[in-house]
Amino acid sequence: MATLEDQIELEYQMVQSGIDRYHKQLTDLLEKDLGSKTKHGRTIIKGILDPVQEAIEEHCKTNQRYNRSTSKSLLKDMDAGKVAYLALICLIDNLANNSTLLKVARNIGIQLETQKRLDVWLKLDKEVATNMINEANKKSDKGFHHKRYGLDHKIKHDEVDLPVWSAHDRINVGIKLVDLIITSTGIVKLEKKIQKRKTVYVVVATQETEDWIKAFNTANEIALPRYSPCIIEPKDWDGFWGGGYYSEHINNLPFVRVHA
């Protein structure tokens, strides 16, 4: 017959199972360069989106004479909020693997070029463009590049005249966005490293960012245990909180689940 000790052991296993699941999901996303889809990645993006957007808006102001900035001319007609969001997604996706500045910049540039092409396409033929974008977004199991190739194929097939950035333009824009993210938030920095006998710059999280991510995941890994039925009579409820399970391993659960 099950005892209180058996029940508490079960509750410990419930918490540990939830921790294991949390870290498996985290590892799977990071290995696929999808850091922006992790809980800590989404929280970082939400927390710093506004200052990055403001930095982009400041950069794109056109009242400075004789300014020939490539990134400014390519970004000035784009929505700064979208630009900030896409740039942050690219950066956070590549952060765990200490990607080179060149790789991060290229990925940002490709994302922003694609967004600009879609913006223009929507103005030229909203109905067709909207339908194609919706169809691409339904392919949730496909990566960005797969969706991009599909959209590019449709654009070429319909002979739609859309802006195209050169490889140099993409990298130039991407490097500027990394610079704006660094100066406006300080969440990442550039480090010199030797790779294949060459000196390269690598985008890495600052120590403060690494410490925050570690603390965030430590706090969140215990938030969703794998709940199991009690193997002894559940603990009595003293009110709306504290009943059901016995141990401190499980957070106190309300009698009725509510969403604030």
What residue segments make up the domains of the chain, in order of their start?
33-61+69-125+160-219
What would the pLDDT profile of 217-236 be if each residue is shown by its tens digit?
999 998 888 889 999 998 88
Is it the case that residue 144 has pLDDT exceeding 90? no
> Which CATH architecture is the domain 33-61+69-125+160-219 placed in?
Orthogonal Bundle (1.10)
For residue 143, the model assigns a pLDDT of 63
Instruction: Say if CB 33 and CB 93 are below 8 A apart.
Output: yes
User: What phi, psi does 224 have (nearest 5°)?
Assistant: -130, 75
Token match 């896409």: residue? 86
User: Torsion-angle region of residue 100: left (phi > 0), alpha (psi -120 to 50) or beta?
Assistant: beta
The kind and range of the H/E element at 201 are: strand 198-205
Phi, psi dihedrals of residue 257, rounded to the nearest 5°: -75, 130
pLDDT higher than threshold 60 for residue 66: no
Q: Give pTM, 2 decimals.
A: 0.84
Share the mean pLDDT of the chain: 87
pLDDT tens-place string over residues 67-88: 567 888 899 889 999 999 999 9
